[in-house]
Amino acid sequence: MERPELPLPQLHAFVVLAEELHFGHAAARMGIAQPPLSQQIRRLEEKVGHPLFDRAPGRVTLTPAGHALLPAARRALAGLADGLAAARAVGSGRAGRLRIGFAASLALTVLPGLLRDFRQRFPDARLDIHEMTTAPQLDALRDRTIDIGLLREPPAGEAELDFRTVLSEPFVAVLPSAHPLAARRSVRLEELADEPFVLLPRAVGPQLYDQITGLCEAAGFTPRMSQHAVEWQTVCALVETGLGVSVAPASIRRIRLKGVAFRRIAPGTARTRVAVAWRRNDRNPLVGHLLATVGRAPRGQGAVTAPGAPDACA
């Protein structure tokens, strides 16, 4: 047996009349004339197949069928009101879901402050945070499995994606603390020419990998790779064991591992960029709100070391 569909305007008229128990008062509350209200009630009674009100001169009461319908009618109207409120919140970007990919090293710099500021402005937004390196972030953006990426060295010539630089930082040499060069405040890249190197694989961040190896080649040598690791924290751990040295973004100094020293590279003019990435013409309003949050951040946000931060991890 098919269930009759009950139009929401008729349910609204029914609930108001059930609360007022007076056609004139109910019509005034709804801002309509009494005859249209009576028509709505009659149509609803035809769909139900039973009277919903007993009508007597000067007196209106609910029938047993009306009493049975009233709780469900209120739930339906409340559900619609909740749905409309949710749709408006999501449509305006006050709520909804934002999926963010981030490079692990950015948890040391831009990510905490950015998420804190965004949560303060949009507490009802749901954030899904995914740790991933640069190349997987780009794939995830193109595949629409994340909405925002926070990555290093964005590629050029992307047709689908846009990028905005949020941080620029120099490179540092990563050395075992017992290394002779660790006793100095700065090193020159050519002094690392004979050292084995530990780096991220090129596949996880091609632009950054090429930038680091390009710096070495400009210093007169091709780095000899001894080990690869997907995360900078693992790179530092391998350096600590003496498997090699590395060149890394300066924010990596915030990784505290015993036996690792971070030294400035002279002359230190090369810098690496951190960027926020998103799909062009993305219709999720939370994307625009996060980009606005990035734009509101002070220029100094994301500095690579806190005041007084040490050059070596103790």
Summarised one tens digit per residue, pLDDT across range 6-49 is 578 888 988 998 899 889 898 999 999 989 988 999 999 898 89
Q: What is the mean pLDDT of residues 124-150?
A: 93
Indicate whether 310 pLDDT > 60.
no
Q: Do the two domains 8-92 and 169-272 of this chain adopt the same fold?
A: no
The pLDDT score that the predictor gives to residue 311 is 38
The pLDDT score that the predictor gives to residue 303 is 34
Summarised one tens digit per residue, pLDDT across range 149-202 is 999 988 888 889 999 999 899 999 999 999 999 999 999 999 999 999 999 999
The domain locations on the chain are: 8-92, 96-165+274-313, 169-272
Question: What type of residue sits at position 224?
Answer: R
The pLDDT score that the predictor gives to residue 263 is 96
Sign of CA dihedral 151, 156, 158, 161: positive
Summarised one tens digit per residue, pLDDT across range 203-218 is 988 999 999 999 999 9
The per-residue pLDDT of the chain, averaged, comes to: 86
The pLDDT score that the predictor gives to residue 302 is 38
The tokens of 171 are what?
């490179």
The pLDDT score that the predictor gives to residue 212 is 95
Indicate whether 265 pLDDT > 90.
yes
The domain made up of 8-92 has a fold known as Arc Repressor Mutant, subunit A (1.10.10)
Indicate whether 308 pLDDT > 70.
no
Of 164-168, 276-280, 310-314, which one has max mean pLDDT? Answer: 276-280
Summarised one tens digit per residue, pLDDT across range 45-82 is 898 899 999 988 878 999 999 899 999 988 888 888 77
Q: In terms of pLDDT, which residue wins out, 256 or 217?
A: 217
Indicate whether 247 pLDDT > 60.
yes
Q: What is the mean pLDDT of residues 269-284?
A: 91
Q: What are phi and psi of 212, to 5 degrees?
A: -65, -45
Q: What is the mean pLDDT of residues 214-231?
A: 94
The pLDDT score that the predictor gives to residue 173 is 96
Tally Cβ neighbours within 10 Å of residue 76: 16
As its CATH architecture, domain 169-272 has: 3-Layer(aba) Sandwich (3.40)
Q: In terms of pLDDT, which residue wins out, 299 or 254?
A: 254
Summarised one tens digit per residue, pLDDT across range 78-97 is 888 777 766 776 676 676 88
As its CATH architecture, domain 96-165+274-313 has: 3-Layer(aba) Sandwich (3.40)
